[in-house]
Structure 1
Amino acid sequence: MKTIATEETQALTQEFKMARGWFIFTCIAAPLLISLFLFMLVMPFVPALNDGMGDGAAYFFVPLSLVMIAVMVLGWLDAIKGRFLISEDSVKSIGVFSVKTLLLEDIKGFRVSEHYIFIEPQSSNQKKIKISLYLGRSQDILNWLQLHFPDLDLLHAEQEEQQILQNEELGWTLEQREEKLQKARKTAKILNWAGGLVAAWTLFWPQPYAFAILVCLALPVIVVCVLKLFSGLIRLDERKDSAYPSVLWAVLGPCLSLAIRALLDFNIFSFDNLWVLMGLVVVTFLVPLLLGSKEFSFTTAKGLAMFAGIFMTIAAYGYGAVVTVNCVFDTSAPEFYEAEVTGKRISTGKTTTYYLELTPWGPQTEADDVSVSKELYELVDSGDEVSVYFMKGYLGVPWFMVTE
């Protein structure tokens, strides 16, 4: 009888492993990457390979290689061993070092993120189960969960919307509150679209330049005013489990694009005044955001992480705003100097930056690398002379331009 029961249980158990395509990719890529990082691990200690690296190369390559080798090995093992099981009375996740089981009666519900499904228990004493969406037939898992358990994000959003519609501060009647919520959602949508378009304009085709910068400067200010106007009904944080409309992209896009333009387009000679002005901009933005706000929480790790993200975004805006206003609207008479090009280099990554190494000029008493446009980089060679224009800055932050 035991044998028959076991066979029936196995027949009712569904097993999900990594999708075949991802499994093949992982089994090919992991060994190749492990080999690469093994090479990087020994490279600093082999004289024929570490020419020009310097004595400190090992302090960078060794820890990086060891960490990446460990990550690749764990990923490879997880592809082989990892699986998720659904049986009559429980779900089970099998990983490299752990096995997690939840009885069906102990499951509270599930949440879905970009790459994972999370199954949450009723009790905080039990651990939630994380399922990768790279498993084969992951949609079947999601369908099964939707059939048997609530989507906790959707449930929370519905409960939050009911709380909003019961808030008499938003209107005397239900119809007034519904109308205000719809108006908030429409406003947030328009601002987010505007933020994306302005960010793309400023980053990829900022013409006319001064006007693009002004619009990029203005939009985050408009967003802060809208946040205060709607009295907390529109929020900065974008959460899947929230009924509150968010204007995250209306702030994030312009702030980051403004900072990138400032970094790419202008050479700051001295940063002393810049940090003070940037701090004033950050405080000017944070004070109205924090005063009377119910959105920010400093008692949880999630709340602190959200505030840190908003702070860094505003800091990026502060830097971009000070630099662009200081340089774009500078009308001071430039001081002219000449410098000789002694070297050239290109820095690649998410963006490509071109550098010329120049001899000392004017107030610049030491040789230094200066970022320039691609056109100028291709026009000049080592030994050529370039013109340097030094300016005081509209906000008192000295900066300079390099031309042919």
Structure 2
Amino acid sequence: MQQEYTYSRGFRIFVFCLISPFALIPLSTIGVTIVAGVQSGQDTLWGFISMIPCIAVVIYVISEMLSVVSVDEKGIRYRSLLFRREMLWQEVRGYRLAGRLELVPAAGNKRRFKVAARRMNYDNLVRWIMARYPDLRKKTKEQMSSTDMYPQHELRMAKYTAWVLNGAAFVLMLACIFLVRHLPWLPFLLIAMLPVTVAALEYHKGLLIIADGRKIDTLPPVLMVFIFCAIGLFVVAVPVFSLRQKELLQGALIITGVFTLLVIFVNRHWKLAFSGKLWSVIMFVVFFTPASYDSLVYINTYFDDSPPALFETTIYDKRISKRRTTSYYLMVEPWGPVKSAVSIPVKKKKYEATAVGAVIKMELHRGALGVPWYTPGILKRE
């Protein structure tokens, strides 16, 4: 008799609510293009390119949520909008339970069959499998203890490297927050930490990883290096307003893409499951992208020795935003190359000391990378 295992209706609704922002991005992009028309061919192209990953995520999640796992006397099958898989019972060698049910095939060239624990009547299927097939988890632990033991000296050196990199990145982040006014070259050290960490991943040949989704402390991770670098460089780049941010963002995406390919090349040494490698790459992209963008902002300003062009503008309004933390903004009128009003974030003391109608100066620079940038005189180092 055939049994079917699907996700519950409540869980489907919950997941669909989570992915709704990914569905709104392409819909809003198409709507804006239809209503406003094509203002720039390049902007439209980048807009539609950004839609591709969102559409892919939405289609994959919908396909998974509507998928069905069916079981009969011959085998187990998976059906969705995108995939179809089947495994006969005589092909199953055993099972593993690691947050979900994994059926391990006897043939080494065939993929494992995985059943999510969120499916309805999942416990009944697990009990039936446990009564029929052996548990392969104990065997795997024995094999790892005898054949997959890491060299202790190399592992100790990898842990020392991770400790040094994470500690140095933390110290440099604090230094950039509190001492960058007196030591403006400090962000260079944070920028240098990024390629040095990637090189260390290759040097230690799989004993140094970025991150692992599981709570296992065997291999030392260096994810905090990228997090600390992103935070420190963000603090340095906050007072800088770039006029053509799209060019910096495109450069940051190209740099991130190159280093992501290097990380994918490096992770061939990692003795992790595919999910662990994928998690590491995702975390790397999430934190390396803002770090590379802020690095370009810093380089564009630090190497810029062009004389500033001075402009004046008027504060026409003040605004306070109360969310998790209270933020203070001064609204200034358009000036020079800036054709729209700008909100300038300031500290509370500066917010209270500045009145509506006050005139402030804007210093416009050409930029070392050819991207004009400016700093409001009110935000100059106090």
Is the shorter-chain TM-score for this pair beyond 0.5, marking a shared fold?
A: yes
**CA offsets, 1:310-350, max 9 Å, x none?**
21111111111111221233211111111111011133445
Q: Deviations over 1:120-168 (max 9, x none)?
A: 889877959xxxxxxxxxxxxxxxxxxxxxxx9x9989975755546xx
**1:321 counterpart residue number:** 295
Once the two structures are overlaid, the 10-residue window that deviates more, 207-216 or 324-333, is 207-216
The residue type paired with residue 319 of structure 2 is R
- Trace 1:5-404 onto structure 2 (pairs within 5 A): 127=117, 163-165=147-149, 177-238=151-212, 239-241=214-216, 243-262=218-237, 264-294=238-268, 303-349=277-323, 352-404=326-378
CA distance in 2, matches of 1:296, 1:181: 13
CA distance in 1, matches of 2:369, 2:291: 16
For the Cα contact (< 8 Å) 1:376–1:403, is it kept in 2? no
SS in 2 for 1:390: strand
Rounded Cα–Cα distance in structure 1 between residues aligned with 2:260 and 2:300:
22
The CA distance in 2 between the partners of 1:367 and 1:179, in whole Å, is 60
Q: 1:300 to 1:230 in 2, by over 3 A?
A: closer
Show structure 1 runs of 5+ residues with no match.
Answer: 1-106, 111-117, 129-151, 167-176
Three-state SS of the structure 1 residue aligned to 2:311 is: strand
State the 1:217 CA deviation: 1.2
**1:156·1:242 contact (CA, 8 Å) conserved in 2?**
no
Please say if residues 389 and 402 of structure 1, whose CA atoms lie closer than 8 Å, have aligned partners that are also in contact: yes
Question: What root-mean-square deviation, in Å, do the aligned CA atoms of Structure 1 and Structure 2 show?
Answer: 3.7
Distance 1:126 1:364 in 2: 53
Assess, with a 3 A threshold, how the Cα gap between structure 1 residues 155 and 382 changes in structure 2: closer, same or farther: farther
Kept in 1: contact 2:239–2:375 (CA 8 A):
no
Please list the CA deviations of residues 87-127 of structure 1 after superposition, one character each: whole Å capped at 9, or x if unmatched: xxxxxxxxxxxxxxxxxxxx9899xxxxxxx8x88987795
Larger Rg: 1
How far residue 210 of structure 1 moved from its aligned partner, in angstroms, is: 1.7
Gaps of at least 5 residues in structure 2 are 1-94, 104-113, 119-136
Once residues 354 and 191 of structure 1 are traced to their aligned partners in structure 2, the CA distance between those partners, rounded to angstroms, is 36
Map Cα deviations across residues 280-335 of structure 1 (whole Å, 9 max, x no partner).
32123223212242278999666544432221111111111111221233211111
Query: How far is 1:384 from its partner?
Result: 0.8
- Matches of 2:270 and 2:149 in 1, distance apart? 21
Please state how far the C-alpha of 1:369 moved relative to its aligned partner. 2.0
1:178-222 superposed Cα distances (whole Å, 9 cap, x missing partner): 211211111111212222222233235535342321121111221
State the distance in 2 between where 1:200 and 1:158 align. Answer: 44
Contact 2:317 2:331 in 1 (8 A): yes
User: Does the residue aligned with 2:312 lie in a helix, a strand or coil?
Assistant: strand
* Alignment size in residue pairs: 257
**1:398: how far off?**
1.4
Moved more, 226-235 or 362-371: 362-371
The answer to whether the 8 Å contact 1:217/1:254 transfers is yes
Partner SS, residue 210 of structure 1: coil
d(CA) in 2 for partners of 1:250 and 1:195? 5
CA distance in 1 between partners of 2:340 and 2:361 (Å): 16
- Pick closer, same or farther for the CA change 1:127–1:338 going to 2, 3 Å: closer
Offset, 1:225: 1.4
Relative distance call for 1:360 and 1:372 in structure 2 (3 A) is: same
Q: Identity, % of aligned pairs?
A: 23
- Matched residue of 1:365: which SS? coil
Closer, same or farther: CA 334–125 of 1 in aligned 2, 3 Å = closer
Q: If the length of structure 1 is used for normalisation, what is the TM-score?
A: 0.54
Report the Cα distance in structure 1 between the residues aligned to 2:192 and 2:252, rounded to whole angstroms: 16
